[in-house]
Amino acid sequence: MLLIAGLGNPGPQYAKTRHNIGFMAVDEIARRWSFGPFRSKFQGFAAEGSIDSAGGPVKTLILKPQTFYNESGRAVGEALKFYKLDPAESLVVFYDEIDLAPGRFRMKAGGGAAGNNGVRSITSQVGPHFRRARLGTGHPGQKELVHGYVLSEFHKAEMKWVEPLLAACADAAPMLAAGEDEKYQAEVMRLAPAEKADPRKAAREGNG
């Protein structure tokens, strides 16, 4: 069984913010693969379904913690414990990554939190060994601007890369379900190509 968790904040006021792109990604996966309805479970909203892979359908639970972003680990830890899953193999977390240029996508296994409090919360509950799907949102250029930036909504022009990225994450999901993270990353970037760039440099030039 696969547990796919998206990070974000609950409530309509946060729905279109950069910090909620993890929620947006798992919503698109649930839609694309015709998951059942989201129901209140594990301190979050959970939907059950399966994703087709080369080895056959992979039973999957999609989870959107409703604990607020910085406490996401409580919901994820509860779900993992309930299903007795090994996070290293069975947990994939989708979240926004300010240190990747807008539209870039990277899979990573294990490692530190890199200042992401949602990832830090999950690590405190289940350890650092889980699969991370990092969705690049770019950087505002200065550390003191980060908080306001991640809680601000995507501009209309940005949806030109947000929507293709979300669709690619869903369409390539069979590779994710099969545990082929490198192939999944490559396929997402093939379906939704985005320019490599220094996210901080781009922000400084934009503010110049």
Catalytic residue among 19, 129, 139, 147: 19
Residue 132 sits at φ, ψ, to 5 deg, of -115, 130
pLDDT tens digits, one per residue of 86-133 = 999 999 999 999 999 999 999 999 888 888 999 999 999 999 999 999
pLDDT at 12 over 80: yes
Please compute the mean of the pLDDT values over residues 63-71 and round it to a whole number.
Answer: 96
Write the class of the CATH domain 2-207: alpha beta
- Angle at CA of residue 65, ends 137 and 9, nearest 5°: 45
Chain mean pLDDT for the chain: 93
Name which of 90, 20, 103, 102 is nearest 62 in CA terms.
Answer: 90
What residue ranges do the domains of the chain occupy?
2-207
Phi, psi of 66 (to 5 degrees): -110, 25
The answer to whether 19 is a known catalytic residue is yes
Task: Report the chain's C-alpha Rg in angstroms.
Answer: 16
Does residue 83 carry a pLDDT above 80?
yes
